[in-house]
């Protein structure tokens, strides 16, 4: 399965919505369109260029953040003082990465993040 679709399906499922994101992506929908059209009462946010510290606002409020990387995608689902908690759709594993390592990794990959806020 398309790993970007796995991330989108995970975000939607977190909000109690079951959809086939892979189908929507193959129909030409963007990530933002898939989320905006399927999540009620939210504003989808393109957080590209934001620092890791800035995007941690969303997991702190129990809202996942999609990190789009050059070689794949991960969901940022939590954090503590030392680590960021990530979900890798390719392996279906949840793991921790050191805060500094994660910040460097996201910076090297252009800091392209997508999340949302509830209206």
User: pLDDT for 2-39, tens place per residue?
Assistant: 999 999 999 999 999 999 999 999 999 999 999 999 99
**Residue 116: what pLDDT?**
97
Count each helix (H run) and each strand (E run) in the chain, helices first: 6, 6
At residue 103 the predicted structure's pLDDT band, cuts being 50, 70 and 90, is very high
**Residue 15: what pLDDT?**
95
**Residue 68: what pLDDT?**
95
Of 37, 40, 47, 43, the C-alpha closest to 112 is 47
**Residue 14: what pLDDT?**
94
1 pLDDT higher than 80: no
Q: How far apart are CA 51 and CA 110, in angstroms?
A: 10
At residue 98 the predicted structure's pLDDT band, cuts being 50, 70 and 90, is very high
**Residue 53: what pLDDT?**
96
**Residue 71: what pLDDT?**
81
pTM score, two decimals?
Answer: 0.94
């Amino acid at each position: 399965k398309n790993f970007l679709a796995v991330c989108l399906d995970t975000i939607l499922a977190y909000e109690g919505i079951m959809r086939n994101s892979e189908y929507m992506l193959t129909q030409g929908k963007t990530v933002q369109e898939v989320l905006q059209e399927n999540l009620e009462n939210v504003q989808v946010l393109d957080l590209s260029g934001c620092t890791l510290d800035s995007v941690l606002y969303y997991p702190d409020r129990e809202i996942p953040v999609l990190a789009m990387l050059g070689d794949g995608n991960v969901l940022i689902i939590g954090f503590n003082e030392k680590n960021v908690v990530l979900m890798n759709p390719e392996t279906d594993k949840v793991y921790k990465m050191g805060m500094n390592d994660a910040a460097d990794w996201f910076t090297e990959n252009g800091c392209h993040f997508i999340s949302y806020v509830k209206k």
